[in-house]
Chains A and B, each alone.
Chain A
Amino acid sequence: MLAGVAALLGYLVHNTLQNMRQQGIASGFGFLDDTAGFSIAFSLIHYTADSSYARVFLVGLLNTLLVSGLGIVLSTLLGFVVGVARLSPNWLIRRWAAVFIETFRNIPLLLQIFFWYFAVLRPLPAPRESLNAFDLFFLNNRGLQVPRPVFEPGFVWIPVMLAAGIAMAMIAAGWARRRRERTGRRFPVLPVAGALIVLPPAAAAWLTALPVTWDVPKLGTFSFSGGTTLIPEFVALLAALSIYTAAFIAEIVRGGIESVPRGQLEAAQALGLGRGLIMRKIVLPQAMRVIIPPLTNQYLNLTKNSSLAAAIAYPELVSVFAGTVLNQTGQAVEVIAITMAVYLTISLGISLIMNWYDRRKALKGA
C-alpha cells in the first residue's frame, strides 16, 4: 500500500518535471524576488508596481486576513442576533429570522457576491451624488468613504492604559471569585471591573487632550479627498460573506440553545434565579459547548470562502497571487503550493486551538 502511494506520487512528479521541461517553465522560488510590475487597487502596506512578487503575496495575505477578520466579527454579531430572534417569543420576529436564514442559506455565495457588487454597488451614483450619512460616510460607485483616524504622538497612552485596566479587572475578578468560593461573600464584580477598564484610558485621553483627529472625506471636483476609501469590491465581499455566514451561525446558535434540556431551565427556575441569570449561568455555558465546534467550522469556511473575491477582483491572496502572479510567471506548481500552504496553515492552526478548547470544555467523566 505504502509502496503503491509512493509509486503514484513518484509517477506524478516525474510527469510534472518532464512537462515543465518541455514547456520551458522555470522552477524554484527565485521568482519571488522579481519585480511584479502591476499595481494593486487596495493595500494595507506600502506597495508600488516596482515591488517584488513576495510583496504581492504579503499584500494578498493581509487583504485576505482583513476581510476574513472583519467578516468573522460581523457574521458572529449578526448570526447571534438572528439566532436568538429565531427563538423569540414574538411571532413576527421569529418569522423574520426564519425568512432571513432560509433565504440567505439557500442561495450560492458567489451569486450573493455578484448581487452586492454588480446589482447594488456598481449602479450607485457617482461621487457628486453620493449617499451621505452625517457628512461623515459617503457611499458611491467608487466605494465607501469613511473618516480615518489620525493618531498623534501621545495617543500610545490610551491603548496602554486600556491594557492595564483589563489586566487589573481580570485580577480583581479572579480575587472576587476565590473569595466567594472561600467565604460565600459577594463582591460587585461587574461595576468594579467595568470602572477599571473604562476609567484609566478615559483619564489618559483627558490628560493628553485626546491626541486623535479624524480625517473626514471631503468632496472635491471629481472625487473625494481625505478619509479612507473602502473599494466596492471589499464592501461587496464583506457584505456577502457576513450575511451568508450569519445565516449558518444563526442556525447553529438556535440549535445550541435548544439543545439545553428543559429540565435545566426548570431546575434553575425552581432555584428562584432570574431570567438574565438563568441565561448567563445556566443556558449559555451549556449551549456554548454545542455551539463552539460548528462555529469554528463556519469561521474556517468564511476564511476559505473569501477566496471567491477572485470573481470580482478584490485583491486578496487567490485573486492577486494565484491569479495575476501565476499568469505572469507561469509557475503554477509553486504558486498554487504556496497558496494552498497558507490556507492549510490557517485551517490546521484553528483546528488545533479548537481541539484544545474542546478537550478543556468536555464534560468530565462523560
Chain B
Amino acid sequence: MSAASPPPPIERVGILRWLRDNLFSSVGNTLLTLIGLGLFILIVPPVIEWAFVDADFAGASKSACTGEGACWVFIKVHLSQFIYGFYPPEQRWRIDLAFGILIALAALLRIRRVPHKGWIAAATVVGFPVLAYYLFYGGGFGLEVVPTSKWGGLFLTVIVAGVAIAASLPLGILLALGRRSNMPVVQAVCTVFIELWRGVPLITVLFMASVMLPLFLPTGVTFDKLLRAMVGWALFAGAYTAEVVRGGLQGVPPGQYEAAQALGLPYWRRMYLIILPQALRIAIPGIVNSFLAIFKDTTLVLIIGLFDLLGTIQAVATNPKWLGFALEGYVFAAAVFWVFCYGMSRYSARLERRLNRHREGGV
C-alpha cells in the first residue's frame, strides 16, 4: 500500500458506520435489532443476578444458602464427589497420577522437536491403558483394589467416553473397510452390523448390555456392569464412526486406489499407506463430531445405574440434606460438558484448517 493513498471518506469508517451497516440498515433490520436488544435485557441481567450478584459463595453447609440467587456452596461442598464419585479419598492420587501421565504424554507428542515420537505414541496407545487399568482398579504392585461400583463422577464419564472413543476408531475403520470390501460375506456382515446398531437407540443397547449380555455368555461367566456398558457403548460408537470413515473413503479419488494397485502393493499396505491417510483427513470433522456425540451421550449410563457426572449430581441433589439445589448442579454439569465439547470442536476446526493447508493457493 502506498503512503499517498487518500484517507477513506468519513462515513465509511468508524463505529457509527458499522452500527448503520449492521444494525440499522433498514426498517426491518432496526426492528430485528430492537427484538435482539429486548431478548438481551430479558435474559442476561436476571441470569447474571442469579449466578453472581445474589449468589452465595462462602460457607460449608446448607445454612449458608440465604440469598435469592444460586447457592454455589452446594457445588463447592460436593466438588470432590462430582469429580471422583465414591472413589476412596486416600486413593484419589491414583486417578490424578494417571491423568497427569496422559497429559504429559500428549504434551510430548505435540511438541515438534521431541525425538522418538513413534515410541512415545506406542507407549500412549499400548502402554497407557494397561498402566491406567492397574492405577484405577488396582490389584497389582501393592495397590488396593477399588471395585468399579465405587467409581463415579466426572472420572467415570471420562473413562467410559475415553474407552468408547478409543475403541470406536479402529473398530469403525475395520467396519468401514469391510463394508467397501469386494468379498460379499465380509461386506454383508459389516453392513448388517453397522445398520443394526445405527437403527436402534443407545438406551436399548445399554439395556441389552446390562440385561441380555449375561444371558449370551457361557453359564457362570459374569463380568462387571461397567465393563458390560463399555462393551455395548464401544460397539455402538464403532458403528457410527464406521459410517463417517466410509464417507472419507468415498472421498478419496478413484485414481488413488488404482495407482496404489498399479504399484503392486498388497491390500493392507495399500490401505495403510495410501488410502487411509487421505480418507481420515477428509473424515476428521465427522470423526470429531462423532466423538463429541459419544462424550455427551455417555450421560445415558446413569439410566442403567452407573453414577457418571450427571448421575452423581442427580443423586446428591435428591439427598434430603441438600434438597432444592438441582438447578445449580445442572448448571455446573452443563458448564463442564460445554467447555469440553466447545473446546474440542474449536480444536477440530483448527486441525482441519491445518491439514487442508496444502489446498490453499492451489487451483
Contact = CB atoms under 8 A, between A and B. Distances in A.
Interface of A: 1-2, 5, 12, 15-16, 18-20, 22, 88-93, 95-96, 102-103, 105-111, 114-115, 118-119, 304-305, 307-308, 310-311, 318, 322, 326, 332-333, 336, 339-340, 343-344, 347-348
Contact of B302 (A12, A16, A106, A110): A110
Contacts of A89: 22, 25, 29
> Max chain B CB contacts within 10 Å: which of A12, A103, A105, A110?
A110
A307 to B, nearest CB: 4
B4 interface: no
A9 to B, nearest CB: 10
Interface string B37-48: 101100000000
Given A91-B23, A110-B299, A311-B302, A19 B214 contact: yes
Contacts of B298: 108
Nearest to A13: B216
B36 A90 contact: yes
B32 interface: yes
B183 interface: yes
B201 interface: yes
Interface stretch (B88-96, B122-130, B148-156, B337-345): B337-345
B32 A106 contact: no
Contacts of A310: 203, 303
A109 B303 CA distance: 13
10 contacts: A18-B219, A19-B214, A22-B219, A92-B23, A92-B36, A106-B338, A106-B345, A336-B204, A347-B199, A348-B195
B215 A16 contact: yes
Interface stretch (B113-121, B259-267, B325-333): B325-333
The 3 A-B pairs of least Cβ separation, nearest first, read A92-B36, A106-B341, A91-B22
A65 B190 CA distance: 30
Contacts of B204: 307, 318, 322, 336, 339-340, 343
Contacts of A88: 32
B51 interface: no
B186 interface: yes
A89 B183 CA distance: 53
Interface residues on B, range: 35 or more
A90 B310 contact: no
Contacts of B203: 307-308, 310, 318
Contacts of A333: 212, 215
A311 B300 CA distance: 9
Contact of B326 (A90, A102, A118): A118
Main secondary structure on chain B at its contact with chain A? helix
Contact of A93 (B25, B32, B200): B32
Interface of B: 22-23, 25, 29, 32-33, 35-37, 39-40, 183, 185-186, 189, 195-196, 198-204, 207-208, 211-212, 214-219, 292, 296-300, 302-303, 310, 314, 317, 326-327, 330, 333-334, 337-338, 341-342, 345
Contacts of B40: 92
A119 B183 CA distance: 54
Nearest to B330: A115
A103 B202 CA distance: 23
B308 to A, nearest CB: 10
Given A322-B207, A333-B212, A347-B199, 4 more contacts: A107-B296, A326-B211, A347-B200, A348-B195
A2 B185 contact: yes
A106 B29 CA distance: 29
B152 to A, nearest CB: 16
Contacts of A336: 204, 207-208, 211-212
B330 A111 contact: yes
Nearest to B186: A1
A83 to B, nearest CB: 15
B199 A343 contact: yes
A364 B81 CA distance: 60
A92 B33 contact: yes
Nearest to B39: A96
Contacts of B199: 340, 343-344, 347-348
B215 A92 contact: no
Nearest to B318: A118
A142 to B, nearest CB: 19
A106 B37 CA distance: 25
A33 B239 CA distance: 36
Nearest to B31: A90
Contact of B185 (A1, A19, A92, A119): A1
Nearest to A114: B330
Nearest to A14: B218
Given A311-B303, A318-B201, A343-B199, A96 B334 contact: no
